[in-house]
Amino acid sequence: MRDTVIRTLIDLGLKDKDIELITGDLGFGVLKPFWETLPNQFINAGIAEQNMTGVAAGMALEGKKVFTYSIGNFPTLRCLEQIRNDCAYHNANVNVICVGGGYVYGSLGMSHHATEDIAVLRALPDVTVICPGDANEAAAAVKTIAETDGTCYLRLGRGGEKNINTDIKEFEIGKAYKLREAKSDGEKVAVFSTGAILEETSKACDLLENAGFAVEQYSFPTVKPIDKEAIKNCAQRFEHIFTVEEHNIVGGFGSAVAEVIAELDTNAKLHRIGIDDFYCIEVGNQSYLREQVGINAEGIAERIQGVISE
């Protein structure tokens, strides 16, 4: 996903000299193709995210289409006020790229777990929040946000994610993508996910189908603005809707869906699957931590089966 985004940025940058990539001194082995191809459109701002984001705002106000780049919480929480005051309030075309959403850097410890970023960025007016589920969604998203005025948060996984959303051509900001129709006559559930947990969610849906469930699955690469129509449509047809995110369940994707469902006149019940409001103190890689928290495929499937059998 990460390399795809950089390749896409190089393609865009070759055609448009206003594309700029600014890194906070990270991206070893990732950004090299960009700086070799487009040295005049690449800036290393050093380990100084506040300045990186302020500079990005200044350049965007002069007509540049700027992407800032760092990992974990550094491009977001460390410089939140610059995103709010300098970028979003001035409608500056700054696109904040985070590599390592969720537990990508699991073993590195709590400082590197980006698990509240969606909630925090979603709270800012005029910030679009995009969490692609796979490389296809990520590439399509980058092309769209470069040409869209205003500030955007692009939360990526790492690399090597399986491509699940194979149909996507044009990225539409605010659109959810239906990936699976309910096939059997079994118990009906709708499953929504955002971000790179898509692969685990899809595997969980396979497990549920094998267990006789009728699963309708959606990927929500955009968390803000949320696809209210897709949620409404499901809320009218399903008794149980599940959201899956590699993020705190407070304030994140599940909360965004809850806000929509709460204002609808339906009987749909929402169940949020994610990190249940704690900092992870266990040590381990992404797949280990996902399993500990219960957001690996088996954990997701068990939770859904548990809710339905209650």
Partner 1 sequence: MTSEQLAWKIRRHGIEMTHLSGGSHIGAILSVADIMGVLYTDILKFDKDNPEWDERDRFILSKGHAGAAVYAAIAENGFFDVEELKTHYANGSRLSGHVSHHLPGIDFSTGSLGHGLSVAAGRALAAKQDGKAFRSFVVMGDGECNEGSVWEAAEFANHYKLDNLVAIVDHNHMQSLDYCNNTLEVDMAQRWKGFGWNVIEVDGHDHDALRNALKNTSNTDNKPTVVIAHTVKGKGVSFMEMDILWHYRFPHDGWEYNCAVNELHKIKPEGVEDPYTPVGCPEIEADPEPMDHTVSETYHPTYYKREVEKQ
CB 16, CB 65: distance < 8 Å: yes
Residue choice 12, 26, 57, 118 for contact with partner 1 (CB under 8 A): 57
Q: How far apart are CA 44 and CA 67, in angstroms?
A: 12
Contact with partner 1 (CB under 8 A): which of 4, 8, 23, 53? 53
Query: Can residue 210 be called a binding residue for partner 1 (CB under 8 A)?
Result: no
| The dihedral sign for the CA sequence 207, 208, 210, 215 | negative
Site for partner 1 in 88-147 (CB under 8 A): 89-90
* 273 binds partner 1, rule: CB under 8 A: no
Calculate the CA 51 to chain-centre distance: 24
- Tell whether residue 193 is a contact of partner 1 (CB under 8 A): no
**67-96: which residues touch partner 1 (CB under 8 A)?**
81-82, 85-86, 89-90
User: Least distance to partner 1 from the beta carbon of 283, Å?
Assistant: 31
**Of these, 62, 167, 170, 185, which contacts partner 1 (CB under 8 A)?**
62
Quick note: the x/- pattern for partner 1 over 13-52, rule CB under 8 A, is: ---------------------------x--x-xx-x-xx-
Minimum gap (Å) between residue 14 Cβ and partner 1: 16
46 dihedral zone (left: phi>0; alpha: psi -120 to 50; beta): left
Nearer to partner 1 by Cβ, of 50 and 148: the residue is 50
Distance, C-alpha 280 to centroid of its chain: 20
* CB 81 to partner 1: min, Å: 6
Q: Which amino acid is at 112?
A: H
Residue 122 in contact with residue 85, Cβ under 8 Å? no
Output the smallest distance, CB 63 to partner 1, in A.
7
Contact 3, 159 (CB under 8 A): yes
CB 115, CB 246: distance < 8 Å: yes
Return all residues near 278 (Cβ < 8 A) that are at least 6 apart.
none
Q: Looking at beta carbons only, is 68 or 136 nearer to partner 1?
A: 68
Angle at 260 between CA 255 and CA 261, to 5 degrees: 95
**Contact footprint for partner 1 (CB under 8 A):** 40, 43, 45-46, 48, 50-51, 53-64, 81-82, 85-86, 89-90
